[in-house]
Chains A and B, each alone.
Chain A
């Protein structure tokens, strides 16, 4: 009995030894040299693997950073300037300061403002609807409310508001990786400059139809009336295809345009309440309600 036991132990140990030797030599032979800095840079990166930098993953981005001559056009939106500065210091290069950004949803066509005119019955996917027709409202530009953007978000920074049928972005969690921007088949979501206290003024509409037509199917559409354009002192508003667009780089957050808008398509978010005098001048409209609602959601 003993001899059997001994034989087993010896033979198994020998087998193990041989296997270990084979593994060792193979590992030696096929060793690939890797720049040790890649590992270090990868440690600095937030390892969210979100693809926001334009590369498949953090390791891939680290490789690119190590190889790159300059950091132009290279930016990690999740880590922001801080991480980029660290990586630059490690690699002896210079990081470019980039203004932090945040995603905004440019559609306010809630169930209330934009009546449903038909019933979509098919696979629940925004792109499928977009490729088929205008969607269950008559607006060919607006949100189709199936939440592909929410599914695309890796940071749980978005959710669908069941009452409005529109996606909501949680500013604190949004890292501006751009996944939702890419997911949206109608390009409704935009990355805008992040202002202090997350204050935002933007045209919450991308409808390019003529005003009269657009108003038929949505109460809060931008009609392209150019009132905001005329009132803006900083040339921040661009009129194009019956649509106003506020350039977040130029906007000084003066809020003059917000009260001008006849359809409340311009939203102001996270601002302190206006002084009473202005408020009486402003039309008591739903735009205010929406903005306060959004604040409470945030």
Chain B
């Protein structure tokens, strides 16, 4: 009878079946969810979107492969797709007219410093894409805050100096002690902003496209609602309170939600598995923290946008959150009824 089993039979501990899920599939899911924002990026800023994203993705892959193979002497794991996601997210948080060597430098920092120094995928405490982005933002503030005005395929990549972001316009206006009404005249309507018709990084402008991605991620059970909803909710709540108290000095919560990187950050960056808490309770604490820091930086800080700092700061708290917010154990509280 055993002759029929031509090879040795396998013995392993249970379970003997496995779900179809894999790291690769999760990463592919995230990439699919980013497609709508990518399409809007191309429509708003032209082919530059494609170039910046392409350069970021390729350089992230190359750096990951080279570092793993030659520096860490490990089996390269570029096929898991995490480097692609990092590249796309990094590109999406950059302005479209950025010099391409800065994109490469950002990728090197994202993968080299943000990920590999800690031991690669799964061990990095900070979101690699944000590490790259913040590094560029602090080191090259001029290039990183020169936004082209969205003109579709006609967007010039070299000499565009127009189109500050709406958040930048507000910061500037408040500094010149203009009232909110006058500032708002320089800014497009919320409806236009919803479709991404404003200055900004190439992937963060279109709220509606990002929302489609969010729905996809939730439907595919790649992420849970906790982190994005609490971040956006916190931002809306606190900007709303300030807006009600002093409407002349503060923009409306709708404005705060639609501008800057709030939605991209909340949906795609804060939810990065490796750098976010693992239990629903922890995720809510994490989200509220990010929301608060974002609002504080936007309203009181020197920078117009704060979500990237919010996420990075809260990333540092994740191990602490994880050790304090354990899942509720079965049989922990004895309830009979």
Task: Indicate whether B10 reaches chain A with its CB closer than 8 angstroms.
Answer: yes
Task: Say whether B8 contacts A122, CB under 8 Å.
Answer: no
Interface residues of B: mostly helix, strand, loop or mixed?
A: loop
Q: Decide yes or no whether B12 CB sits under 8 A from chain A.
A: yes
CB-CB < 8 A to B20: which residues of A? Answer: none
B13 near A118 with CB under 8 A, answer: no
Task: Say whether B13 contacts A119, CB under 8 Å.
Answer: no
Closest to A128 in B: B13
Nearest A-chain residue to B11, judged by Cβ: A118
Q: Which of A91-149 contact B (CB under 8 A)?
A: 116-123, 128, 132-133, 136
Whether, in the assembled complex, B9 has its beta carbon less than 8 Å from a beta carbon of chain A, the answer is yes
Do B9 and A118 have beta carbons less than 8 Å apart?
A: yes
**For residue A116, which residues in chain B have a CB less than 8 angstroms away from its CB?**
8
Query: Which residues does chain A contribute within 8 Å of B12, judged by CB atoms?
Result: 120-122
User: Would you give the 0/1 interface string for B1-13, flagging 1 where the beta carbon is closer than 8 Å to chain A?
Assistant: 0000001111111
Interface string of B176-200 (1 = CB under 8 A from A): 0000000000000000000000000
How distant is the Cα of A136 from the Cα of B8 in the complex, in angstroms? 10
Q: How large is the interface on B (under 10, 10 to 19, 20 to 34, 35 or more residues)?
A: under 10
Docked complex Cα distance between A225 and B11 (Å): 33
Smallest Cβ-Cβ distance to B7: which chain A residue: A119
A42 to chain B, nearest CB (A): 34
CB contacts (< 8 Å) of A123 on chain B: these are 13
User: How far does the alpha carbon of A40 sit from the alpha carbon of B12 in the complex, in Å?
Assistant: 51
A117 in contact with B8 (CB, 8 Å)? yes
A171-193 vs B: 1/0 string, CB under 8 Å? 00000000000000000000000
- Contact (Cβ within 8 A) A121 B10: yes
In angstroms, Cα B12 to Cα A120, docked, is 6
- Counting contact residues on chain A (CB < 8 A from B), the size range is 10 to 19
Closest Cβ–Cβ distance, residue A116 to chain B (whole Å): 7
Q: Is the CB of B8 within 8 A of A132?
A: no
Minimal beta-carbon separation of A103 from chain B (angstroms): 29
Considering the chains assembled together, what is the distance between the CA atoms of A153 and B12 in angstroms? 27
Beta-carbon contact of B8 and A121 below 8 Å: no
A117 CA to B9 CA, complexed, in Å = 8
Most buried by B among A116, A118, A128, A133: A118
Give the contacts of A191-242 with B (CB-CB under 8 A): none
Closest residue of B by beta carbon distance from A135: B11
Q: How far is the CB of A134 from chain B (nearest CB, A)?
A: 9
Interchain nearest-CB distance for A146 vs B (Å): 13
Give min CB distance, A152 to chain B, whole Å.
Answer: 22
State how many angstroms separate the Cβ of A115 from the closest Cβ of chain B.
10
| Residues in B whose Cβ lies below 8 Å from that of A136 | 8, 11
Chain B hits for A117, CB < 8 A? 8
Residues of A within 8 A of B9 (CB): 118-119
In the complex, A123 Cα to B7 Cα: how many Å? Answer: 21
A132 to B13, CA, bound (A): 7
Per-residue A-contact encoding for B99-135, CB less than 8 Å = 1, 0 else: 0000000000000000000000000000000000000
Known contacts A116-B8, A122-B11; 10 further A-B pairs (Cβ under 8 A): A118-B10, A119-B8, A119-B9, A119-B10, A120-B11, A121-B10, A121-B11, A122-B12, A136-B8, A136-B11
Q: List 17 A-B contacts (CB under 8 A).
A: A117-B8, A118-B8, A118-B9, A118-B11, A119-B8, A119-B9, A119-B10, A120-B10, A120-B11, A120-B12, A121-B11, A121-B12, A122-B11, A122-B12, A128-B13, A132-B11, A133-B11
3 nearest A-B pairs in the assembled complex, by CB-CB distance? A122-B12, A121-B12, A119-B8
